[in-house]
Amino acid sequence: MESFGRGRTGQWLVDLDGVVWTGERPIPGAAGALRRLGEAGTQLAYFTNNSHPRRGDHLAKLARHGLDVDPGDLLTSAEAAARLCRPGERALVLGGPGIQEALEARGVEPVQPGSQGARSVDAVVVGLDLVLDYWRLSAGMRAVLAGARLVATNDDATFPVRDGLQPGAGSVLAALEVATGARAVVAGKPNEPAASLVAERLGRVDLVVGDRTSTDGALARRLGARFALVLSGVTRPGAEVTGPEPDLVASDVADLVRHVLSGEPLEPGRLGGGAPTR
């Protein structure tokens, strides 16, 4: 297997939640390691399935954690979902301000549940909804039953935070799919809309770094890239996982970068003891 050597450059695509931070807590050493990697010549971009924050919020949080990221190097599932709507359409939003922002940038009118005309929309766009209640879910259900397309930013069942896991956008989506019988078109990692966004924005990607094989790993395979699994987020040491076999496993991104910059050959499962089981 080809190894990364000292001074090797390329394009990395890095997840955020569970890789750079969990909630507001920085994962120790992550930001410093990524800065060193960038200084060594590796091109870094970031793709998050978290559609709730606005782009500016993501960028500000990266800056607070010590990473100065060009806006063009930040990709989100909200952007990928907005690309599934056509300019001039109206979309009901079950999610956060990041979805609304992405829709507006696309020329799509975002509509909030409970507002006039909420049923007469072209699409219902679902993401992580921190104020979800029965009535918001009902509005989404009625719009879909009235003929609106169902679009999801992602279908991640859980979302990593400082003290564990919380329900993710996929949990919201599951309720809506059960209520309507509809199946959503899912935009975020690892699906084709996300891969198309990456290809258009970045071109070739050499390595995808993430904490979830079913999203980050599957996206890497779709892009023809290698996949480095870090055990600092959703996937923990010793956990049983499904999805593509990772090319590399590390305890965290700092561990991964340390080995890359040292020039040591990296083989599957070599890093970060307690590799996941299958």
- List phi, psi (to 5°) of 242: -120, 160
The answer to whether 252 is a known catalytic residue is no
Task: Count H helices and E strands in the chain, helices first.
Answer: 9, 15
| Set 15, 129, 155, 247: catalytic member | 15
| 3-class DSSP string for 107-131 | CCEEECCCCCCCCCCCEEEECCCCC
Angle between the 134-145 and 169-180 helix axes, to the nearest 10 degrees?
50
Which pair of tokens denotes residue 182? 């509809």
* Residue found by looking up tokens 């918001």 in the block: 136
In the chain, what is the greatest distance between 2 CA atoms, to the nearest angstrom? 61
For the question of residue 255 being annotated catalytic, the response is no
> Which residues does the annotation mark as catalytic?
15, 17
